[in-house]
Structure 1
C-alpha cells in the first residue's frame, strides 16, 4: 500500500513538472492590451491604497476600535490579498508575450484565490450579524459582540476558507494534465483549469458546485435573516431617530453585499461554453479586480468617522510638511 502511494506521488510530481499552462487572458484583442493594462493598473493602485488606507485609518482612530470596524479592517485585508493574488499576473500578461505559468503556480493561485473569496463571503455575513445586534439589541451590543466573539467569527471565516480550498485542490489534483495547455482566462479559475484536463472532471466539478452552493446559501441566509430583523425593528421604532440612524449605517454594507453576491450569482448562471468565455472573463474581471476596489470606496464615502479621520491625517501631514 505504501509502495502504491509513493508511486502515485511520483506520478503527480512528474506530471506537475511536465505541465505548463498558458493564460490566454485578453490576448485575442491585441489593440486593447495597453489600454487594459493602464485601466487595470489604475484599479489595482486604488485597491491597494484604498484597502491598506482603510486598515490604517481604523488603527489610527480610537473611535473606530469597535466590532464593526474590526470586521471592516479584515474585509479590507481580504480584498487586498485577493486582488494581489490575481491582478499582478493579469498586468504582466498584458505586456509580455510569454504568458506561460507552471502547474504549481497555477494551482497555488487558485488555492489562495479560493481562500480569500470564501473568507469574504462569510466575512460579509458576519458583518450582517454585527449590524443585526447593533440595531436590534443596542443596549447589549458591547456585551454580545465581545472581542472574544469577534475574533472567533473572523478566525472561523478564514479557517473555513482554507478548508474549502484544500478540498477543492485535493479533487483538482486527482485530474490528469499533460503537456502545454491553454487556460482560456486571465486567472487560474476552476472551470478553466478542468476544461483542459485529460481526465473526467465530473467529481471535481460536483464537489466545487456543492460547496459553492452551500457557502452561497448559508451566507445569504445569515444576511437575509439579519436584515429582516433589522427592517422589522426599524419599522417598529420609526418615531425614534436613533434606530433609524443605526439602520442608515447598514446602507454601505448592503451595497457591498449586493455587488459581491450578484456578481457571484451571475458567474454561476454563465454556462462555460466556447461562445460564453468572453462574458465569463468580463464577469471574472469585475469579480476579481473591480469589487476589491469598490469596498473601501463604498465604506469611506458613506462614513463620517472615516472621512474625518482621513482629513485629520492629511491635515497633520500638510502641517508637518510646512514645518
Structure 2
C-alpha cells in the first residue's frame, strides 16, 4: 500500500509540474505591449512644406505629448507590438541628465532586422534623440535595450501616427529629400573599416539638425553609418551607429545641437558596393541670420 501511495503521489506531482507549463485557457491581451495610433495632427488636414531651410516652422515634426516610460539600465529589454497596417513610427529617447546608452531596433519576424540605432550620449537631457522609421505594412515589433550600467536608466517614448498624419509625414520626408542637396557616402574596401567621411560644421544659431539616410537612388542596398557629434576639437558628445535595410525604408532623425561649436562627422560602414546618400539640414533655427545662409543655400553645401 505504501508503494502504491508513493506512485500516486509522484504522478500527481508530475501532473502539477506539467500543468504549470501548459498554455492558459484565457486569451492573452496585447494592449499593454502594443503601440496605438495617435490622433496628434499639428499640421492640420493638409501638408505644407516648412519655409527654407527646413524645420518645424510649418509644423512640429514630432509629437509634443508622446507618452514616456522609464527603462532601467544594465541591459533591460522592452518590446512593443506595432499595428500591422501602419507604415511609420516615431520615437524619442532621453535621460534625466545622465549619460544615455541604448539600442533601438525594429524587427520583422524573429530573424529580420529592419532598423537598428545604437545610441551613446554624454547627456541625454541636453541632447535627446528623436527618429522616425519608415517600413512596409505587416507584423513588426519595436525593441529597446539599455547597454549601459544599472546607474544609467533611459526614458523612452514611441508612437504610431494616425493615417492622415502618416501621409503628411511621408510628404514632409519626400520634400526634405527632394529639395535639399544630397551627399553620397561611399563604403569601405576593408572589412570592419570605415569608408567615406564627411563633416558638417553647424552654425551657432542652429539648435537642432535633421538627417536622412536613404539608398533608393544608389542601388537600393542596406545602409550602415557611424555618426559623431562633436562640440569643440575632438570633444565627442554624441555617437550613433545606424543599420537600415532597403531602399523603401529611409531613416530620418533629429540631433540636438544646443549652444555653439558643434560639428557632425559621418562615416559609411557599408562595403564599397553599398553606397548611400544623406541629407543634413537645420531643423530648429533660433535666428536665420547671415551666418546660416549664403545665396539661399547652407554654406557647407
**Higher percent of residues as helix:** 1
TM-score, normalised to structure 2, is 0.21
Which structure has more RCO (C-alpha within 8 Å, separation ≥ 6)? 1
TM-score, normalised to structure 1, is 0.20
